Amino acid sequence: MACYGMVKALLAQGIKIDLVLPTKEPVYFPMREVSDVDTLPAVFLDPLLQREYTRHSFLTVQDRLEYIGISSEPQSYFSLKELRRYANKVRDQYWMQEIVSTEEQELWDQMTMNLIGEEDLMRKVQEYTLRADRFARTLEYDLIHAHDWLTYPSGMLAKQISKKPLVVHIHATEFDRAGGPGDERVHKIEHAGMTYADKVIAVSKYTAQMIMSRYRIDTGKIRIIHNAFSLPTDTKMTKERIFKGPTVLFLGRITLQKGPDYYLEVAEKVLKVHPEARFIIAGTGDMSRHLLRKSAAMRLKNRFLFTGFLNRKQVECILRAADIYVLPSVSEPFGISPLEAMAFGITSIISKQSGVAEVVNHAFKIDYWDVDLWAETINHLIENPDNCQKMGIEAMHEVNRIQWDEAAEKIRHLYSGVLAEYIRRPQF
């Protein structure tokens, strides 16, 4: 959702973007008009494949995207044998042949030595990095913009091949996702990517502090640009209740970072006072099964409900049904889903340990661990529905003023500065 809003707003400012996604087929998406973010026009790198593609007729956009290898379950597009040659191929072909500084060599070694492992996710990052070689050599571009550690190796490789400047965007660190030390390989890749980049965009002051203190990234290259949220113009906003009683919603990944276990504790406390309430947890994640078993042991029955994964339309449906939104994140670099809930006029309670708390005023902000205060606040809102509705309306008006246009203008300004520095830099 962040990339969607960001690209759309950048296009409106006249910036042309070639979007490179982990597709099964070797394609990229040339974004030139604002409408392209919804239609996703694709171009094959291979002219023969492009001609074959243009001869096909597709009934829906989804059919067309599945043809080029974008689905809800991305497929692997390199053989395991090829992946095993990953580190040596990249090091020998692209790096050792170049004259580089000791610092650059250390960063490259750090990235290649840690981008290892047979896990499905790590293999897909390896694949995407190998794919970056051809894109970096084929496409014409002024700079590279990479999002989070999954694409940092690709960005580093593209910069090394093209000598063009690299901007990396940090939406969440491994400390945030893991709620602790996490995977050391990911930390090393995050450090290498941010150190090698010309500029680093942090989505909040909270994130900027994290990357300065934990990763020792040069403060001079960090820029804070908050995320935003814009509802599609055709979004249906009318309330459509699912339950008669008050409905409380958790919408997000069910992982340690988002604090779903605290949400369960809060639900237990509130339901003792207001058994007519319904608590919904929408999303998937590695804590789903644990929470399901725990809620069953608490005998919360059908008062605490799991939806599983929701598509875009289903998310909008659940938002129209909710009265109160809750996100007790342990560590949240930003958090777009609270803005989405507020845009639907839902009174929101968010963790103080979140970047979104820096940009909104019409939301309750509570320490993630203060379960009693979360429960008291929800009880107060249930018992005072008029106040709850009033705050939700105020939140909706506030979020409507937090548009991607302002963030895109800051990104455009950053691009201009990076390119100006690049032009002044001696070219070898």
Q: What is the CATH number of domain 247-402?
A: 3.40.50.2000
User: Nearest CA to 158 among 143, 173, 171, 180?
Assistant: 143
Query: What are the residue boundaries of the structural domains of the chain, listed by start?
Result: 2-18+78-228+408-424, 247-402
Q: How many CA atoms lie within 13 A of 119 on its CB side?
A: 10
Predicted local confidence at residue 184, as pLDDT: 93
Phi, psi of 352 (to 5 degrees): -65, -20
Whole-angstrom Cα distance, residue 244 to residue 323?
Answer: 11
Specify whether the CB–CB gap between 344 and 325 falls below 8 A. no
User: Nearest CA to 139 among 17, 48, 39, 12?
Assistant: 17
User: Nearest CA to 113 among 205, 189, 214, 29?
Assistant: 189
Predicted local confidence at residue 343, as pLDDT: 92
Predicted local confidence at residue 313, as pLDDT: 87
Predicted local confidence at residue 42, as pLDDT: 94
**Does the structural domain 2-18+78-228+408-424 have CATH classification 3.40.50?**
yes
Q: pLDDT, tens digit, for every residue of 387-400?
A: 999 999 999 999 98
Q: pLDDT, tens digit, for every residue of 243-295?
A: 999 999 999 999 988 999 999 999 999 999 999 999 999 999 999 999 999 99
In this structure, the chain runs to a length of 428
Q: pLDDT, tens digit, for every residue of 26-71?
A: 899 999 999 999 889 999 999 999 999 999 988 888 888 888 888 6
Predicted local confidence at residue 88, as pLDDT: 59
Predicted local confidence at residue 108, as pLDDT: 84
Whole-angstrom Cα distance, residue 97 to residue 9?
Answer: 40
Q: Pull the structure tokens for residue 131.
A: 């794919």
Determine what percent of the chain is predicted with pLDDT higher than 70: 92
Number of neighbours of residue 425 by Cβ within 10 angstroms: 11
pLDDT level of residue 72 (50, 70, 90 thresholds): low
Whole-angstrom Cα distance, residue 258 to residue 179?
Answer: 9
* pLDDT, average across residues 358-368: 95
Predicted local confidence at residue 73, as pLDDT: 57
Specify which residues 280 forms β-bridges with.
249, 305
Q: Pull the structure tokens for residue 24.
A: 């099964």
Phi, psi of 155 (to 5 degrees): -65, -40
Whole-angstrom Cα distance, residue 279 to residue 273?
Answer: 13
Phi, psi of 44 (to 5 degrees): -80, 140
* Same-fold call for 2-18+78-228+408-424 versus 247-402: yes
> Is the pLDDT confidence value at 182 over 90?
no
The SS3 of residue 13 is: coil
pLDDT level of residue 202 (50, 70, 90 thresholds): very high
- Can you give the pTM of this predicted structure? 0.85
